[in-house]
């Protein structure tokens, strides 16, 4: 098992390397560079100044030299210097990662827990109202754009019934105590977490319903019933643990991806996370920042995959053997 994990780790490092090179190459193929964006904001500059700026960012070098330099710096834990924010990229990411992780974790957690419960219930009673609710919910969740859901929720819960703040993570008046601060953040968190979670709720209720329906038909569930176990044990002990396996897989994979998924929600709610930073760095052609965020996302995906693997092994003993 340990060698398996080590091999996975080696693969992960290779994968990250590939992500770095490809991202770097892709962004440089795209038209426009940070200097053009900067000059645009400055309202124009002389060709000499432009050339000087290019040189100072290392943009005058051939692409492979630039990639080499970049990789070398990344290996030392340096993701470069933001051309727009005038700060180290690692610093920017460190500043923004907290809010994003908070948002994504809360959104995914409530969606997975409620989604699984809904899925399990609806699988047991295929024609009940709860089953139809899950179908409608997942259809709506899948088809409605996330920014639209966000705006609708703002209209409902911040405008029509102003119980929740429209945007941001904290109120302008600074909280006096730690508890006050936590409550303030929680208050601001509700709407974005609700919005982001709704898409995942649709997904997880559907997934766990399908998975549960499948598991309820298996021979071992029939065995559990034939043994005379009470229904509660048949469902929650024998069926659920097997049905939850795909949920764990997807949750792990998605947690890595939601950082990119959170871009829209963070933008709608002006949530000061990585998503907004990514959005802004794209607009400003802030290549180092964008590259840093992309690298960081890839890192998250890889770490979550490894973690999922570990959790999976704990739930399903068959995997340890292979």
Partner 1 sequence: MTSSSPLLSVRDLEISFRTGGREIPVVRDLSFDLSAGETLGIVGESGCGKSITALSLIGLVPSPPGRVSKGQILLNGEDIVTAGEDRLTRIRGNEISMVFQEPMTSLNPVYTVGEQIAETARAHFGSSRAEAWDRAIEMLKLVGIPSPEQRAHNYPHQLSGGMRQRVMIAIALVCEPKVLIADEPTTALDVTVQAQIFDLFRELQRKIKAAIILITHDIGVVAQMCDRVMVMYAGRKIEEGPVRSFIRDPRHPYTRGLISCIPKLSRDPSDTPEPLFEIPGVVPSPADLAELKGCAFAPRCNRAINECQLHSPALTPLGSDRAVACLRQEEIPA
Cβ(27)–Cβ(289) below 8 Å = no
DSSP state of 172: S
Name the minimum Å distance from CB 311 to partner 1.
13
Name the minimum Å distance from CB 138 to partner 1.
24
DSSP state of 77: T
Name the minimum Å distance from CB 113 to partner 1.
20
Name the minimum Å distance from CB 315 to partner 1.
7
| Dihedral over Cα of 117, 134, 144, 189: its sign | negative
Name the minimum Å distance from CB 272 to partner 1.
42
- Residue with Cβ nearer partner 1 (159 or 233): 233
- Residue with Cβ nearer partner 1 (251 or 294): 251
Q: Within a 10 A sphere around the Cβ of 306, how many other Cβ atoms?
A: 15
Site residues (CB under 8 A) for partner 1? Answer: 218-220, 222-231, 233, 237-238, 241-242, 315-318, 321
DSSP state of 156: I
Distance CA 194, CA 199 (A): 9
Here the tokens at position 208 are 């766990």
| Dihedral over Cα of 40, 41, 44, 48: its sign | negative
Give me the half-sphere count of Cα atoms (radius 13 Å) on the Cβ side of residue 243: 32
Among left, alpha and beta (phi > 0; psi -120 to 50; other), residue 173 is beta
- Residue with Cβ nearer partner 1 (30 or 226): 226
| DSSP character string of 212-225 | HHHHHTSHHHHHHH
Name the minimum Å distance from CB 225 to partner 1.
6
Cβ(146)–Cβ(196) below 8 Å = yes
- Residue with Cβ nearer partner 1 (148 or 220): 220
- Residue with Cβ nearer partner 1 (212 or 300): 212
- Residue with Cβ nearer partner 1 (43 or 317): 317
Residue with tokens 């051309």: 83
Cβ(82)–Cβ(89) below 8 Å = yes
Name the minimum Å distance from CB 320 to partner 1.
9
- Residue with Cβ nearer partner 1 (69 or 241): 241
- Residue with Cβ nearer partner 1 (75 or 233): 233
Name the minimum Å distance from CB 183 to partner 1.
41
Query: How far is the first Cα of the chain from the last one, in angstroms, to the nearest whole number?
Result: 8
């Amino acid at each position: 098992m340990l060698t398996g994990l080590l091999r996975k780790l080696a693969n992960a490092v290779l994968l990250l390397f590939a992500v770095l090179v490809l991202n770097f190459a892709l962004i440089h193929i795209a038209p426009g560079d940070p200097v053009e964006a900067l000059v645009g904001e400055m309202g124009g500059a002389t060709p000499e100044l432009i050339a000087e700026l290019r040189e100072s960012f290392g943009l005058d070098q051939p692409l492979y030299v630039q990639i080499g330099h970049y990789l070398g710096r990344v290996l030392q834990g340096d993701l470069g210097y933001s051309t727009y924010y005038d700060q180290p990229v690692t610093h920017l990411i460190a500043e923004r990662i907290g809010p994003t992780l908070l948002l994504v974790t809360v959104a995914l957690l409530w969606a997975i827990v409620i989604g699984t419960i809904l899925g399990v219930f609806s699988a047991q009673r295929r024609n009940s109202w709860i089953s139809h609710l899950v179908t409608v919910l997942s259809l709506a969740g899948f088809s409605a754009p996330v920014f639209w859901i966000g705006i609708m929720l703002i209209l409902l819960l911040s405008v029509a019934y102003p119980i929740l703040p429209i945007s941001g993570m904290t109120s302008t008046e600074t909280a006096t105590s730690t508890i006050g601060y936590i409550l303030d953040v929680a208050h601001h968190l509700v709407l974005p977490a609700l919005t982001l979670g709704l898409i995942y709720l649709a997904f997880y209720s559907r997934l766990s319903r399908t998975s549960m329906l499948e598991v309820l038909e298996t021979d071992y569930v029939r065995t559990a019933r034939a043994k005379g176990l009470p229904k509660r044990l048949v469902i929650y002990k024998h069926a659920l643990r097997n049905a939850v396996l795909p949920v764990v897989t997807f949750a792990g994979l998605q947690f890595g991806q939601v950082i990119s998924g959170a871009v829209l929600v963070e933008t709608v709610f002006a949530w000061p996370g990585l998503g907004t930073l990514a959005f802004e760095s794209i607009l400003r052609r802030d290549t180092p920042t964008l590259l840093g965020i992309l690298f960081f996302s890839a890192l998250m995906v890889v770490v979550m995959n490894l973690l999922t693997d570990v959790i999976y092994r704990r739930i399903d003993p068959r995997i340890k053997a292979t």
